[in-house]
Structure 1
Amino acid sequence: MCINFKNLIRITFILILNNLHSQTLDIAKNIKTIILNNSKSTDPFFSFDDNIELSFDDLDSDEKNYYYQINHFDYNWKPSKLLKSEYLNGFDDLRIRKYRNSFNTLKSYTNYKLKIPNNDLSLKISGNYSISIHHSNGDRVFEKRFSIFKNELPIQISISKSNIISNINTDQQIKISVNCDNCSDIYNSSSSLKLIVIKNNNWVNSQIIEKPKYVLSNKLIYDDIYFKGGNEFLNFDNSNISSSSLRIFKTTLTDLYNNFLITDKERTNTIYEYNPDINGKFILNSNKNNDLSIENDYARVFFNFKTNFYDLKREIYLLGNFNNFKIDQNYKLEYNSKSESYKGSFLFKQGFYNYKYAYIMSSDKNKMKYFEGDFWQTENYYRVLLYHKKIHDKYFKIIGAIDLNTYNIKN
């Protein structure tokens, strides 16, 4: 059999790229509202001593037995070479024992919760992790990724408008300084140091910086890191599920509440408009419920999106933290020739949601683009992680972390 070597290399590169940028595998349609957080943060980045809670809803509402595994990864989300016993105290692959059925909702569901650490296990080391949820037969349901850090070194970050003339109106420039008593202890020929910058908690929008621009005895300086500004997220709030609101122009009741959003329009060639957002995240909320986990109902939310032109080869999707910013067939919009717009309806639990529209071309499904334009003024959230591995170590530890919002970005 004759193998085209160039095609083999191309296929291998695509597979590697997909592995680095994929935050979850495809999520089953019955699984909704996956939340990984703690009392201090809704972001998937936690200090080593933090308690973490994973929760999710199963819309089948049949009290399935779900099991969980904890996995450890290198900085680039390749599985580390560690044994379970080297990063876990205790044992995983255990059944999630805490679950409750929804109460007084039109849409029945079962809410599952898992805390880490718990009586069965705790984490030993820092690094990248995932919680993998699966059935008793081993079939995976979904995977949620997170990072655990130990702040051993102080890090400083500043963000400004790009200083490159060609990108001055679209890009944001980041400068990062790592303070160290003796930087040669961590940056030398017998160890590996990786700096990763993540925009809006979306690993697809991240950069791996291999080496600092300047190396001083007590400071490593990373400069000339550029990100496209993007645009503010769109939003809707169906906390009061039975009423209209600023962006919900109509609500009806059938088998469920139906929330109809105002028409969204493509923003590719528009000017920047400040629109406060929460950088792609969502927050469960209600005007009357006390226990949001089981008392908040699900609404069928209707989206209507007008593009500047129709392209048969373009597939359009809804993205946000609710689906890990991932191209997902469960959130695909279909073209409606009568309204000359893209329409779709999806189930969302009561709350406040950020979202964007993105597309892929049928000829290149590995390249995703947004309908939003790029503006240096856009308020974004950046997370910085510093990974370190000595030559004889088996894994990358996270020795520093910092985050910053661009509320007061320098002009």
Structure 2
Amino acid sequence: MRLRISILLLFITCRTLAQNQPMVYEDKTYLPEIKTVQFYNTKKEGSFPLIPLNSGEQVMLSFDDLSGQSKILNYTLEHCDAQWNSSRLSPIEYLQGFTEDRLMEYRYSAGTRQKYIHYELTLPNQNLSPRLAGNYLLKVYQNGDQSKPVLTRRLYVVGSKVSITAQMVPSGNVSQRATNQKINFSLEYAGLNVQNPYTDIRTLIMQNARPETGIWNTRPANIRSTQLIYNDILTNDFPGRNEFRHFDTRSLKLNSERIGHIYRDTANTVILLPDPKRDQPDYVFQYDNDGKFFIINQDGRDGRTDGDYAHMYFTLLANKTAFDGSAYIVGQFNNYRLDEQSKLKYDGSLMRFYTDLYLKQGVYDYGYVWVDAKTKTPDDTVLEGNHFETENDYQILVYFRAPGARWEELVGYRVLNTAR
């Protein structure tokens, strides 16, 4: 009885601390009971959360609440600049319809060991839609109070006013040609009133939609009439990294690839096969989803509400110890965050790192990041390897601040795949 009371008090304490967290302008979940957050363009599940302005396209937000209690949830959008600082505009200037709305679409789970409430939201909708192009922070919060955040997600609304041409070329650094992927690109901005292309336009390139990989381009190497050319030999040179690892729990009735054992009792437990270190000199092709995850339940009809949760046990054979540094597991499923939830523990008797994550049924990509004890610098090539042959998506986003404007617009977008 005392143990149950202690667990309840611990949960309440964690929840209170989460509610007291300040809202930040990044992808983040603030409550421990909120799981499996997905945010993508409805044309393709798992896609980059970007829509053209006034195009009729929509993004879908979905998540589960494992507390089992329905909440009064509200949401709104806030316009931001290219570096995700508030534009400090009035909501009336950048929103059409209401300035906030209530999240009304939810369903209860059915036939699962873990009970939850599944929420969904599509944007733009008849009650709330963006008026301007640019970066938007989607905020979901409780009881109409933004000081009680539930989650935040970054939304990109593009007003296509520039054309982008891009290609991958060998690294300008000969010593890195076996590992790196260099991106050269050019912009045609004839449709914009640009007074100074060195200050009015800036461009961000991300690898696999990971903000921590982003490289800013503020000065083109060359200007030809209304064309900006970014091909400096030292810029936009990315580590190719490696294909993501993956596991498949679409069914909890049989062992698929990478699954060692499945135990089904009062809760589901899945033991994955040990993950070896992959810092080998030779590239080995492996199909992946560029870090994404997809919710699928082959044992049911609709994975959104009949997909179950399972304790997933990961083991990493890193040939390192806790004295050397720390290992973290990352993917789109946890927004590539390096925190206590993604940090692996170390078992000195077995000389391996391990962790337990509570995840919904589906197909997941993941990888490991190493943080050296001396440098404190995160590096995902130490444990995973680094190869120029790796298949990656690069998102190119072009931002423009018109002369005298109080906000920054997203005026161009292009995705470049290294295999196509």
Query: If the length of structure 1 is used for normalisation, what is the TM-score?
Result: 0.89
Structure-2 separation of matches of 1:302 and 1:312: 23
Across the aligned residues of Structure 1 and Structure 2, the Cα RMSD in angstroms comes to: 2.1
Q: Deviations over 1:73-111 (max 9, x none)?
A: 100111113111111112244331111110111111111
Q: Secondary structure of the equivalent of 1:105?
A: coil
2:211 is the alignment partner of 1:203: yes
Structure-1 separation of matches of 2:319 and 2:200: 47
Unaligned runs of 5+ in 1: 1-18
**Counterpart residue identity of residue 239, structure 1:** R
**Counterpart residue identity of residue 259, structure 1:** V
Q: Secondary structure of the equivalent of 1:155?
A: strand
2:66 is the alignment partner of 1:54: no
Structure-1 separation of matches of 2:138 and 2:378: 26
1:335 Cα offset (Å): 0.7
Farther-moved stretch of structure 1 (33-42 vs 232-241): 33-42
Q: Contact 1:335/1:343 (CA < 8 Å) preserved in 2?
A: yes
Q: Secondary structure of the equivalent of 1:392?
A: coil
1:361 Cα offset (Å): 4.6
Aligned match of 1:74: 81
Aligned match of 1:257: 268
Structure-2 separation of matches of 1:270 and 1:328: 30
Structure-1 separation of matches of 2:79 and 2:275: 40
Over 3 Å counting, the alpha-carbon distance change for 1:87 and 1:364 in structure 2 is farther
Over 3 Å counting, the alpha-carbon distance change for 1:363 and 1:24 in structure 2 is farther
Over 3 Å counting, the alpha-carbon distance change for 1:362 and 1:28 in structure 2 is farther
Q: Secondary structure of the equivalent of 2:344?
A: strand
Q: Contact 2:49/2:156 (CA < 8 Å) preserved in 1?
A: yes
2:222 is the alignment partner of 1:214: yes
Q: Deviations over 1:148-172 (max 9, x none)?
A: 1122222111012213212111111
Q: Deviations over 1:99-124 (max 9, x none)?
A: 11101111111111112122321110
2:188 is the alignment partner of 1:188: no
Residue 364 (structure 2) aligned to one of 346, 353, 356: 353
Q: Deviations over 1:387-411 (max 9, x none)?
A: 1112211111111111011115xxx
Aligned match of 2:173: 164
1:126 Cα offset (Å): 1.0
1:211 Cα offset (Å): 1.5
Residue 396 (structure 2) aligned to one of 384, 389, 405: 384
**Counterpart residue identity of residue 90, structure 1:** G
Over 3 Å counting, the alpha-carbon distance change for 1:317 and 1:28 in structure 2 is farther
Q: Secondary structure of the equivalent of 2:231?
A: strand
Over 3 Å counting, the alpha-carbon distance change for 1:404 and 1:328 in structure 2 is same
Unaligned runs of 5+ in 2: 1-21
**Counterpart residue identity of residue 407, structure 2:** Y
Residue 95 (structure 2) aligned to one of 73, 78, 88: 88
Q: Contact 1:44/1:201 (CA < 8 Å) preserved in 2?
A: no
Q: Deviations over 1:170-214 (max 9, x none)?
A: 11111112124478x436269610111111011111111002111
Aligned residues: 387
Aligned match of 2:303: 292
Counting aligned pairs with the same residue, the percent is 28
Query: If the length of structure 2 is used for normalisation, what is the TM-score?
Result: 0.87
Aligned match of 1:7: none
Q: Contact 1:263/1:304 (CA < 8 Å) preserved in 2?
A: yes
Structure-1 separation of matches of 2:385 and 2:361: 29
**Counterpart residue identity of residue 56, structure 1:** F
Q: Contact 1:201/1:382 (CA < 8 Å) preserved in 2?
A: yes
Farther-moved stretch of structure 1 (305-314 vs 256-265): 305-314
2:185 is the alignment partner of 1:173: no
Farther-moved stretch of structure 1 (71-80 vs 26-35): 26-35
**Counterpart residue identity of residue 159, structure 2:** K
